[in-house]
Structure 1
Amino acid sequence: MVQLDKPVKTVDIHSPKVNPVSESEFLSLLKNYSSLSDGYVPFLQTAAWASFKQRFGWKPLFYSVSGYPLLVLRRRILREQAIWYVPWGLFWFDAVVGHGPDYESYAIFIRNVSESILNQIQGSRIKPICIRYDAPFGLTNYSCDESGNKLYKETVKRIPGVWRVNHTIQVPTTVMVDLSQPWENILAGMKKKTRYNIRLAERKGVSVRVGN
């Protein structure tokens, strides 16, 4: 057992403090973060998801990064090689930094977090051939466009040791619609093609109702 670090208000992206922790310690880190934020933790970074993936051959690895939680999933593909996967990894980064997605800082941060982890497992028999991150960007209001994804891709090209792949494992964009707004306002914020598809569905008899 390690002494859990207290979450820091400003994370040093160049020298993150990374430590392996137990599952119970990981749960404590999640709880601490929830109490400091709005309580949102993506399901893919929970112990429940780790337990589920373990049933299908993935080994969960739990870390503390400057006092914040990080779940890494490991899957062996050869005798002594494995893929390490971080779904929605470092989801708390924006909240800690205190502003919207800073793509360059995030790319630098994941590189340095990854290097710290790799340095800790140098003596391990099973080595990762890569550490794959699905970035926690794309949870947006409906009015967003694709400029953020394009900017992230272009920014990552400038960071040595980090590559932006063309295909994501998780859904690349999650849309959140504020249903408290009048229907006309919601439609007005949508793209023309989306409005057309909605009205086409109405003409075809598709309806939405509140279930029991």
Structure 2
Amino acid sequence: MSSEVVSIRQPLVLHASFWGKALAGIKAGSDTRVLEVGCGRGESLALLASKKIDAYGFDLGAASGQLLAPKSQFAFGSLSSAMSYPQHHFDAVIVRPMPSFRGELATAEHYVATANLLSCVKAGGRMIIVEPTAGREGTPSTEWLARWNRQLEAFTVEKKSLVYRDGGLMQALLGWLKKGPKLDLQLIQITIPQTPVSRLEWHRQARTAAMPKTRNSRKAA
């Protein structure tokens, strides 16, 4: 594996500039809530809390080392099982690379995991999928984006591709880039319909997409 490929064992740290752009247009208030999937120790949760944003994190299990936000802000477990958060709960959900989203992203578990996350977003809210431009796990970012886009065709959402890169004179002058590696990311921004979609409906769309694949795998066996 190339040393330039980002491993999910070395999670990205999404700093203030990224979050400022990711949440642009979302009016901050006492009922504004954000979920970060693949949150690690909660670096982003602590950062967002300092900005008076109600931030929560989801991961497979507690990361090694001390959590950087109150434990009440975390949920742990499988994204393809019962969802810990209510439907229509978050203004934005950010999905970082994590073990729940490996491989071709085309199994029933992958579709259900995505449906669970979509169901947590408020009507008119957004979900942003983050992939390092350098790729991960030996697979280039172009392939990861293609896998995500194929999967997302199953759901009634609007999506567009975006790029986030650190840089620019003002950022350099401010000096915050010295605190960690620069970010170079490929994003898929998903817009949830303005009319609320129930969790049951998201799951129906997931099942419809997964059923042909399940039948084919049984025939092959």
Structure 1 length as normaliser, TM-score?
0.37
